Chains A and B, each alone.
Chain A
Amino acid sequence: MKRSEQTAPAQGEQKKLTGKQRFRRVEPYIWIAPSVILMAVFILVPIFFVFRLSMSHVTKAGLIKDFAGFENFAKVLKTPAFGMILKNTLVWTVVVVVLSTVLGFMLALVLNNKFHGRKIARAIVVFPWATTLVIQASTWKFIIDTDFGTLNTLLLRLGIIKQAVNWTPTPEAYFGWEMACGIFVTIPFVTFCVLSGLQSIDASLYEAATVDGASYFQKLFHITLPLVRPSLTVSTVLNIIYVFNSFPIVWVITKGDPANRTDTLVTYLYKLAFYRGRQGEAAAVSVLGFLILLVCASVYMVYTLRKGDES
Chain B
Amino acid sequence: MKKPLALLLALSMSLSLAACGGGGTTESKAPEESKAADPAPAQSQAAEPSGEKVTINVIAAQYGQNTNAWYDDFVKEFNDTYPDINLVLEVVSWADIYTVVNTRIANGNAPDVLNIDVFADYQADDLLVPIKEVVSDETYAKLYPAFLEESNVDGTIWAIPDLASARAMYYNKDILDAAGVTEIPTTWDELKAACEKIKAYDANIYPWGVDMTTDEGQACFAYYTWNNGGGFTDADGNWILNCDANVEAVEYAIDLVNSGLTNTDPANDNRYTLQDMFGAGQLAMMIGPNSIPTYVEANGYSVNYGFGAIPTNGGNPSVSAGVMDRFMCFKKDGRTDAEVEAIKTFFDFFYEDERYNEWVLMEGFLPATEAGGEALAAADPAQAPWVDIIGSCKFYPVAKAEWADVKQGVIDVEQQALLGGDVRELLDNLQAEIAG
Contact = CB atoms under 8 A, between A and B. Distances in A.
Interface string B88-119: 00000000001100110110000000000000
Contacts of B99: 274
Contact of A168 (B105, B124, B265, B419): B265
Interface in B357-409: 401, 404-405, 408
A275 B412 CA distance: 13
A257 B265 CA distance: 11
Interface residues of B, number: 36
B127 interface: yes
B124 A59 contact: yes
A271 B214 contact: yes
B72 interface: no
Interface stretch (A27-35, A60-68, A238-246): A60-68
A225 to B, nearest CB: 30
A146 B262 CA distance: 13
Interface in B156-184: none
Interface string A62-76: 111000000000000
B188 to A, nearest CB: 24
A276 B276 CA distance: 29
A147 B263 contact: yes
From A174, A255, A258, residue with most partner B Cβ within 10 Å: A258
Nearest to A61: B125
A166 B264 contact: yes
Nearest to A65: B125
A276 B124 contact: no
Contacts of B213: 255, 257
Interface string A122-145: 000000000000000000000000
A113 B150 CA distance: 68
Contacts of B273: 147
A274 B280 CA distance: 34
A279 interface: yes
A257 B411 CA distance: 10
A259 B416 contact: yes
Contacts of B267: 257-259
B122 interface: yes
Contacts of A63: 105-106, 125, 127
Contact of A258 (B122, B401, B418): B418
B121 A61 contact: yes
Contact of B121 (A146, A271, A277): A277
A34 to B, nearest CB: 16
Contact of A255 (B98, B214, B276, B277): B214
A59 B263 CA distance: 39
A146 B102 CA distance: 35
B265 A146 contact: yes
A147 B277 contact: yes
A121 B194 CA distance: 55
A170 B80 CA distance: 57
Given A147-B263, A171-B419, A275-B404, A61 B98 contact: no
Nearest to B206: A147
Contacts of B214: 255-257, 271, 275
A150 interface: no
A271 B102 contact: no
B419 A61 contact: no
Contact of A257 (B98, B102, B268): B268
Given A171-B419, A258-B419, A61 B408 contact: no
A277 B265 contact: no
B68 interface: no
Interface in A258-277: 258-261, 271, 273-277
Contacts of B127: 61, 63
Sort A-B residue pairs by CB-CB distance and give the 9 closest, nearest first: A62-B106, A258-B267, A60-B121, A258-B415, A259-B415, A61-B125, A255-B214, A274-B98, A259-B416
